[in-house]
Structure 1
Amino acid sequence: MGILGGFLMKNHYFLSQPHQPFFVLAFINAIISIFIFSLLLKGTITSEVLSANYHAYSLIFLMFTPAFFAFLFTTFPRFSANPPIEKIVYLTILVPFVVGSFFFLFGTLTFSALASIGMVITLIGHLLGINILRKLYKASTIEDKHDIFWILLSMSAGGVAHLLFVIGYFANSIWLISFAIQIAIYLYLFLVAFSVAQRMVPFFSHRMIERDELFVRNIALLLVGHIILEIIKPHLSFIADFALMYIIANEILEWELPFPNPNPLLWILHLSLFWVPVAFLFSGLTSIISIFSDINFMFLDIHILVLGFVFTVLIGFGTRVTLGHS
């Protein structure tokens, strides 16, 4: 820890802004995670960690979560009219993510006990990071806290999902892990990204729209409905999915986004948003088909939502933050 601590406390440019180390960690974790997952799928290697659990955990909590903190540790202080987060504070969060990622990835290849330790360490970092955002929210003196409230709430949902996943893993509960993944996908990854996007994309597009304060709340309630319907009966969530498709598509159309346009920093954000109603349309259709047939769509809807929207919008916002355009 002495060597690591000395490195972190030195005035390295790489560590001078929170988005740099967190984005790099997310990128490295993504490459390693996908590589290991491909080996697990092919049967080239075996692991005590189930490949499905590994795939979900590594991408949600080792890739997207550091990337979210990279973005929010830079922008959330601006959103909430607070001073920038001090270096020692965000590095305190970086360390458990680095250590936890190493233990989980290495443990997947060697001993599952190491992977378990890595999950706990990463969870601690995740919860500490959320607490930093909570303190910024509490210290904010701005009158309109609508957007930062939903960002904080959805980030908190991610912490809950992470905790439930770890508990489910230790308890060997497939149901609890599945429930945690549902929360993580819809109330965490999607809702964080969408809460930021509905605030920033119209602004970047110079579209001065009249804000509906109930819009994000209604989306969140429908997402909760999606999860509840899936618990009641698998694939019954098409009821909520079609409602989400309609409401979100209608809202995006009302923004009248200037697409296509020559600015790649802008059109990638527009493109990501267009994937959202498409994802929920496919989710509804595949759910209906699955109710009346044995066709397995291999989580097509989730992959469209996560890769089409969350990953794409993260590239767009991450690029803007890196270039100082946030």
Structure 2
Amino acid sequence: MHMKFSEDSENNYFFSQPHQPFFILSFVNAIVIMLIFMLSYKGIMNIAISPSNFHAYGLTYLLFTPAFLAFLFTTFPRFASTPIIEKKDYMSVFSLYYLGSAIFILGSIASPVLSAIGMIMVFVGHVMGVLILKNIYTTTTMEDKHDIYWILLAMKFGLLAHLFFIIGELFYMPLVGLSTEVSNYLYLFLLTFSVAQRMVPFFSHSMAGRNDYLLKVVFTLLLLHIVLEGVYTHSSFIVDILVGVLIGRELLRWKLQFPNPNPLLWILHTALYWIPIAFIIGGLTNLISLTTGVSFLALDIHILILGFVFTILIGFGTRVTIGHSGNMMQADQWTTRLFYWTQVVVGMRILVSLAAAFGWNFMILFDISVTVWLLMFIAWAVRFFAVLINGKKLTD
């Protein structure tokens, strides 16, 4: 795929808004990374780094991070009432991300040196992306910086986790574990929740005012979770249950209509309800693992990241794609089915963990869970890539 960014991007629709190239890259990476992970996990293919580390790095920094940048480069200036981000700025980040992703993926198959170069290029792109957001934060004249403060803080933790991962992978492997904890809780979850607690009540016309202490308390508990897990694995179960109860109570306060007849809201509400489920089940399974040694194959993280972060990513990503292409802000049958399919993806991954915990052979379920993931992203691509690439108008 040869792209002369400097020439083509001048008058190309595809590069005219930041969310378009970043979403495409994110979704292509989602398909490629999961395919390679499946083949390497089953021993069909040898890769340069361990399959689980490839899986964690690929999905955190090559799927979720470009998707976050797609969303934030579009909405962060609006949140902060500042001018839109200039094309040359987001294109320089995209170029590094695109090349870094390709080199990392090729390197994971061909050579550890190449994969390290790819990771460093992606990291530099990540740094540049966060600096663009930081610049918006420092130049805004808005009085109320509450939401953009938390979004930017979570992005900074993403950078820290990214740095830990690269150092860990190249020099000191125990850092990878810390990187994963920080990226899951203080980056992927905290960032998505910071955006969701602002946007979802607004879209849903919820009359509940903002709870200014919520993010502070959640952040403190997540820090405590990471410290406890660092001291002794699975020891954070009380903190996890606390977070689940706290956020569950907050969601009830918002009085969101559920199930909502509008699929574009239904998917956002569904994603939010996975948060208390993820933390409470995570707490209980951590307690079981602590006392019996049974492994749940990272069930807590998968419910949180797939149930909440992935589901809301599809919801927000679809919304931004439709809304910024001049299409009607409504979900047709195809989109509605895609939204239901997100829950099949979550459900299948939960079954994989439960099968592992019961000591059954979970490889068939593993294959099915990867297949439903791939179908999800392929079906989304079939529906929306043309909208992102050339502004196609959707008809049923």
Q: TM-score, normalised by structure 2?
A: 0.80
Aligned equivalents of 1:241, 1:7: Cα separation in 2: 50
Segments of 5+ residues of structure 2 without an aligned counterpart are 330-396
The residue number in structure 2 matching 1:153 is 153
Q: What letter is aligned with 2:37?
A: F
Q: What letter is aligned with 1:84?
A: I
Q: What letter is aligned with 1:59?
A: L
Aligned equivalents of 1:114, 1:186: Cα separation in 2: 29
Q: Post-superposition shift, 1:133? A: 0.2
Aligned equivalents of 1:166, 1:114: Cα separation in 2: 13
- Whether the 8 Å contact between 1:272 and 1:308 is mirrored in structure 2 is yes
Report 1:267-286 matches (<5 A). Answer: 267-286=266-285
Q: What letter is aligned with 1:147?
A: D
Which secondary structure state, in structure 2, belongs to the residue aligned with residue 45 of structure 1?
coil
Q: Post-superposition shift, 1:52? A: 1.1
- Whether the 8 Å contact between 1:133 and 1:152 is mirrored in structure 2 is yes
1:117-169: CA deviations, max 9, x gaps? Answer: 00000000001000000000011111110000000000110011001111111
Q: What letter is aligned with 1:297?
A: F
- Whether the 8 Å contact between 1:8 and 1:91 is mirrored in structure 2 is no
The residue number in structure 2 matching 1:134 is 134
The residue number in structure 2 matching 1:82 is 82
- Whether the 8 Å contact between 2:9 and 2:15 is mirrored in structure 1 is no
Which secondary structure state, in structure 1, belongs to the residue aligned with residue 133 of structure 2?
helix
1:247-288: CA deviations, max 9, x gaps? Answer: 000000011101112111001000000000000011100110
Q: Post-superposition shift, 1:8? A: 4.3
Q: What letter is aligned with 2:297?
A: M
Q: Post-superposition shift, 1:104? A: 0.6
Q: Post-superposition shift, 1:3? A: 6.6
The residue number in structure 2 matching 1:214 is 213
Report 1:56-135 matches (<5 A). Answer: 56-135=56-135
The residue number in structure 2 matching 1:15 is 15
Q: What letter is aligned with 1:83?
A: P
- Whether the 8 Å contact between 2:208 and 2:254 is mirrored in structure 1 is yes
Aligned equivalents of 1:70, 1:83: Cα separation in 2: 16
Aligned equivalents of 1:210, 1:52: Cα separation in 2: 41
Report 1:225-244 matches (<5 A). Answer: 225-244=224-243
1:269-322: CA deviations, max 9, x gaps? Answer: 000000000000111001100111121100001000000000001111111111
Q: What letter is aligned with 1:195?
A: S
Aligned equivalents of 1:188, 1:95: Cα separation in 2: 23
Identify the range of structure 1 (182-191 vs 255-264) with the bigger mean alpha-carbon deviation: 255-264
Segments of 5+ residues of structure 1 without an aligned counterpart are none
Residue 9 and residue 234 in structure 1: after superposition, are their counterparts in 2 closer, same or farther (change >3 A)?
A: same
Moved over 4 A (4+): none
Q: Does 1:163 align with 2:163?
A: yes
The residue number in structure 1 matching 2:26 is 26
- Whether the 8 Å contact between 1:25 and 1:98 is mirrored in structure 2 is yes
Q: Post-superposition shift, 1:102? A: 0.5
- Whether the 8 Å contact between 2:259 and 2:266 is mirrored in structure 1 is yes
The residue number in structure 1 matching 2:187 is 188
- Whether the 8 Å contact between 2:48 and 2:107 is mirrored in structure 1 is no
- Whether the 8 Å contact between 2:5 and 2:95 is mirrored in structure 1 is no
Q: What letter is aligned with 1:11?
A: N
Q: Post-superposition shift, 1:174? A: 2.6
- Whether the 8 Å contact between 2:26 and 2:62 is mirrored in structure 1 is yes
Alignment: residue pair count: 324
Residue 7 and residue 36 in structure 1: after superposition, are their counterparts in 2 closer, same or farther (change >3 A)?
A: farther
Q: TM-score, normalised by structure 1?
A: 0.97
Q: Post-superposition shift, 1:226? A: 0.6
Identify the range of structure 1 (288-297 vs 24-33) with the bigger mean alpha-carbon deviation: 288-297
Residue 7 and residue 282 in structure 1: after superposition, are their counterparts in 2 closer, same or farther (change >3 A)?
A: farther
1:5-39: CA deviations, max 9, x gaps? Answer: 43443310011000000000000000000000010
- Whether the 8 Å contact between 2:154 and 2:191 is mirrored in structure 1 is yes
The residue number in structure 1 matching 2:306 is 307
| Percentage of matched positions with identical amino acids | 51
Q: What letter is aligned with 1:294?
A: G
Aligned equivalents of 2:8, 2:182: Cα separation in 1: 34
Q: What letter is aligned with 1:112?
A: P
Aligned equivalents of 1:15, 1:226: Cα separation in 2: 40
Which secondary structure state, in structure 2, belongs to the residue aligned with residue 49 of structure 1?
coil
Q: What letter is aligned with 2:316?
A: F
Q: Post-superposition shift, 1:324? A: 2.0
Which secondary structure state, in structure 2, belongs to the residue aligned with residue 323 of structure 1?
helix
Which secondary structure state, in structure 1, belongs to the residue aligned with residue 4 of structure 2?
helix
Aligned equivalents of 1:54, 1:179: Cα separation in 2: 16
1:44-66: CA deviations, max 9, x gaps? Answer: 11122111110100000000000
Q: What letter is aligned with 1:96?
A: L
Q: What letter is aligned with 1:119?
A: M
C-alpha RMSD of the superposition: 1.3
